[in-house]
Structure 1
Amino acid sequence: MIRLFFNLEWKQFSRASYFQKGIAIKILLFLAAIYFGGAAIMLGVGLFFIAKKIKPDLDPIILVNNFLIYWFLFDIVIRFFLQQLPVMNIKPLMTIPIKRNTVIHYLLGKTALSFFNCIALFIFLPFSIVLLVQGYAVVNVFCWFLSIIILTFCVNFINFLINKNNTFFYSIAGVLFVFLGLETYGFFKISEPIGKAFNMLYQQPYLVIIPLLFLFLLYKKNYSDIRKGFYLDGAISKKADRVKSLDLNWVNRFGSVAVFLKNDIRLILRNARPKQVLLMSGLFLFYGLFFYTQSAYKNMPAFLAFASMFVTGGFLMTFGQLVPSWDSEYYKLLMSQNIPYSKYLESKWYLMVVAVFVSFILSIPYLYFGWDIFGMIAAGALFNIGLNSFITLFGGALNRVPIELNVKAKAFSNTNGFNPTQMLIALPKLVLPMLLFYVPYKIINFQAGLIVLALSGVLGIVFRNFFLSKIEGVYQKGKYKTIAAFAEKK
């Protein structure tokens, strides 16, 4: 039966009109997997010696166990944003004599092949081999390694649960940041008491039964949740939600683009996926803290300019790069209306401009790091408004990947908005501001770099209509290809 499922999924993939695009994505992801997998193996091989060098008086296995809690918490956060949960079209299967249990077990079993599970294997298997070479007990090392892999699968099934309720995720992310803060400033080192628990897994091999039992309970929980909704009427029926009317009269001041802006605001506030992206964009406000607090970057101002782009450009880069995919579910209806395409694009531009302006206001506390840093953030905001916004809109013309707005039930819905084009369009958005700042900085001084970066954004605003008209031409040229792509059911 498992073989049949694999065969059906391959036929669905190979016979679809997006087959070639899917192959390109798979090749890119495969190359990325090779790179990160190789890096993980290198880390695993050197982990023992790195730990020995950091604290020569402490057993490396103890030091690694002390920080495993951060590994698993960080793994949960990364999986929430990046791991695509298994997708399967179950409606045809529910009308033929195939047991529900078999389909659900197959669906959950597919997660074992996730690259996120392999990362732990690539790191801790070489580390375990080094431990054996260094003379550690075979049984202890094997059971410890088995416990780590089992806990990795536990994280995998925890990701199923938190994807259905964002509250769980934000609680876990909050705990991670609190632990990191307390650990960094020495108030309370959570790594020590929890590290003792992981040390027990190494010292008492029979305790491997505990993570195994935890995995069993999580599997049963996910199995039970999926089985409850595994009915034909449950799959096809729509849940009627009461939608609260929003008073958006204040948007009317934007004139003819107000109707589009209202539509986008309602889309963000009423759907799960846009809400998630909006919250993610808020995290970009703290991106500068990773650069401005490190003395190593003070002599590399080009990287500070790079960081400044993200401080105010979070919404632009997360929400903006998926224009017009956000409207994919009703794009055909939208394009059939007697409305100028230029107004549609202008509304998206206004939305990104407002988001950059709000982010800039919220970034005022960065004055703590000095006027030079805040000036760089201001120049980056102008660049985001004047040039980055247009580059993003141009990239949207080449993005024809539909998005399902409601992603609460990820086990049965495909929310993949990834496109290789986004990676190519992202290059000028990241490299161009660094060049615009670095060249005059190197030739003249720091202030000259800021002025050039800011002026580039001002020029973009001045020639706004010119850029929008050129971008409109690209959208109009690919209009019917985009409609056909959005109509494709994956």
Structure 2
Amino acid sequence: MIQRFLSLEWKQFTRASYFQKGIAIKILLFFAAIYFGSAAVFLGIGVFFIAEKLVPSVDPVITVNNFLIYWFLFDLAIRFFMQQLPVMNIKPLMTIPIKRETIIHYLLGKTTLSFFNFIPLFIFLPFSTVLLFKGYAVMNVVCWFVSIISLSLSVNFINFLINKNNKVFYIIISLLAIFVGLEFFKIFKISEPIGIAFNALYNQPYLVIIPVLLMMILYRINFNFIKNEFYLDGAISKKADKVDTTDLSWMDRFGSIAVFLKNDVRLIWRNARPKQVLMMSFLFLFYGLIFYTQEVYQKMPVFLAFASMFVTGGFLMTFGQLVPSWDSEYFKLLMSQNIPYKKYLESKWYLMVVGVTVSFVLSTPYLYFGWKIFGMIAAGALFNIGLNSFITLFGGALNRVPIELNVKAKAFSNTNGFNPTQMLIALPKLGLPMLLFYIPYKLINFEAGLLVLALSGVLGMIFKNFFISTIEGIYQKGKYKTIAAFAEKN
């Protein structure tokens, strides 16, 4: 029966109208998997020697065990955003004599084949091999390795559960932030007691039974959860008990574009994927911490300019790049209304401006790093509003991949709505600000680079009508191709 399921999924993939596009994306993902898998293997080999060099007075195994908790919490957070859980059309299967248990076991089995479950294998298998070559006890190393893999699969099944309840995810992220804060400010080293537990898994091989049992219990919990919802009148068909009637009349002040702005606000408020993208754009605010806290980047301001684009451009780069795909489910109806296309594009521009502005206000804590850094963030915000927004809208004219709003998907990993053209459009969005800053910075000084970057954004706002009209012409030219593409069912 499992073989039959695999055969059905292969036929569904190869016979779909988007097969060529889907296979191209799969090839790109395959090469990405090879790259990250190879990096994980090299990391696994080097972990022992890195730990030995950083803390020479402590056994590398103990050092690794002390920080394993952060690995698992980080793994869970990344899985939540990027791991695409398996989906299967079960309605046709419910009318034929196939046991529900078989289908559920197949679905859960597919989750274990995720690339995210192979990453721990690529890291900890080479690390365990190094331990064996270094003369560590075979039984201890093998049981410890089995424990780590079992815990990784447990994280996989926990992720399956928290996808049904986002509150659990927020709690876990908050705990991670608290743990890191306590450890960083040396208030309480939370890693030590948890590290003792992981060290016990290594020193007492028989304790391997605990992670294995935990994995089995979580598997059973997931199994029962799916089984209880495995009915046509259960989770598959949901009834609307309450209609959200949020008052958006205050947006009428925006005139003829108000109808579009209201539509976008409702779209974000009522659908899972736009909400996830909005949350993801908030995380871009912390991108600057990667660069502003490292002394090496202080001598390379061009990379600081690169980081500044992300601090205020999160919403623009995540939500904006999928215009007009967000409206794909009702695009034909939208285009049949007696409303100028220019107003539609203008509303999207204003929405991105609001996103950049809110991100800029929330970035004020970066004043801690000095006025130069904050000035770079301000210049980046102006560039995002004045030029990046129009580059993003232009890229949308080339994006004709529909998005299913009612399907809960990962903001990062879901290829629904993905177009390789977006990768090409991303080059000027990231490279142009670096170039505009670097040339005057190199020829004159740092302040000149900031001024040119900021003025480029101001000029973009001055010529807003010209850019909008030009982009409108491109959208109008491909309007019917876009309608036809959105009409295709994936």
Length-normalised TM-score, structure 1: 0.96
Larger deviation, residues 289-298 vs 113-122? 289-298
Deviation at 1:488?
Answer: 2.9
Q: Counterpart amino acid of 1:272? A: A
Deviation at 1:409?
Answer: 8.8
Larger deviation, residues 266-275 vs 311-320? 266-275
Name the counterpart of 2:208: 208
Name the counterpart of 1:448: 448
Give yes or no for contact 2:144–2:201 (8 Å, CA) kept in 1.
yes
Q: Does 1:302 align with 2:302?
A: yes
Q: Does 1:399 align with 2:365?
A: no
Larger deviation, residues 281-290 vs 149-158? 281-290
Name the counterpart of 2:481: 481
Name the counterpart of 2:431: 431
Larger deviation, residues 425-434 vs 394-403? 394-403
- Aligned residue for 2:3, secondary structure, equals helix
Deviation at 1:235?
Answer: 5.7
Q: Deviations over 1:232-267 (max 9, x none)?
A: 333653321412322222212221101000111111
Q: Counterpart amino acid of 1:164? A: K
Deviation at 1:290?
Answer: 2.2
- Aligned residue for 1:209, secondary structure, equals helix
- Residues in 1 aligned to 2:73 and 2:223: alpha-carbon distance in whole angstroms: 23
- Residues in 2 aligned to 1:110 and 1:76: alpha-carbon distance in whole angstroms: 18
Name the counterpart of 1:61: 61
- Residues 5-404 of structure 1 mapped to structure 2, 5 A cutoff: 5-234=5-234, 237-404=237-404
Deviation at 1:407?
Answer: 4.6
Q: Counterpart amino acid of 1:474? A: I
Larger deviation, residues 434-443 vs 250-259? 250-259
- Residues in 1 aligned to 2:364 and 2:65: alpha-carbon distance in whole angstroms: 40
- Residues in 1 aligned to 2:239 and 2:78: alpha-carbon distance in whole angstroms: 30
Q: Counterpart amino acid of 2:465? A: N
- Residues in 1 aligned to 2:296 and 2:202: alpha-carbon distance in whole angstroms: 38
- Residues in 1 aligned to 2:459 and 2:76: alpha-carbon distance in whole angstroms: 43
- Residues in 2 aligned to 1:225 and 1:134: alpha-carbon distance in whole angstroms: 45
Q: Deviations over 1:45-91 (max 9, x none)?
A: 11111111111111111111111000000000111111111111112
Give yes or no for contact 2:273–2:409 (8 Å, CA) kept in 1.
no
- Aligned residue for 1:288, secondary structure, equals helix
Give yes or no for contact 2:84–2:409 (8 Å, CA) kept in 1.
no
- Residues in 2 aligned to 1:47 and 1:423: alpha-carbon distance in whole angstroms: 33
Larger deviation, residues 384-393 vs 473-482? 473-482
- Aligned residue for 2:243, secondary structure, equals coil
CA gap 1:294/1:66 in 2 versus in 1, 3 angstroms = same
Query: Percent same amino acid among aligned pairs?
Result: 79
Q: What stretches of structure 1 of length at least 5 have no aligned partner?
A: none
- Residues in 1 aligned to 2:235 and 2:247: alpha-carbon distance in whole angstroms: 33
- Residues in 1 aligned to 2:251 and 2:468: alpha-carbon distance in whole angstroms: 21
Q: Counterpart amino acid of 1:146? A: V
Give yes or no for contact 1:403–1:415 (8 Å, CA) kept in 2.
no
Give yes or no for contact 1:407–1:415 (8 Å, CA) kept in 2.
no
- Aligned residue for 1:242, secondary structure, equals coil
Larger deviation, residues 333-342 vs 261-270? 333-342
CA gap 1:12/1:100 in 2 versus in 1, 3 angstroms = same
- Residues in 2 aligned to 1:234 and 1:404: alpha-carbon distance in whole angstroms: 21
- Residues in 2 aligned to 1:62 and 1:40: alpha-carbon distance in whole angstroms: 20
- Residues in 2 aligned to 1:320 and 1:46: alpha-carbon distance in whole angstroms: 40
Give yes or no for contact 1:91–1:235 (8 Å, CA) kept in 2.
no
Q: What stretches of structure 2 of length at least 5 have no aligned partner?
A: none
Length-normalised TM-score, structure 2: 0.96
- Aligned residue for 1:489, secondary structure, equals coil
Q: Deviations over 1:430-483 (max 9, x none)?
A: 111111101110011111101111111112112212222222232223333333
Q: Counterpart amino acid of 1:383? A: F
Larger deviation, residues 472-481 vs 137-146? 472-481
- Residues in 1 aligned to 2:124 and 2:296: alpha-carbon distance in whole angstroms: 30
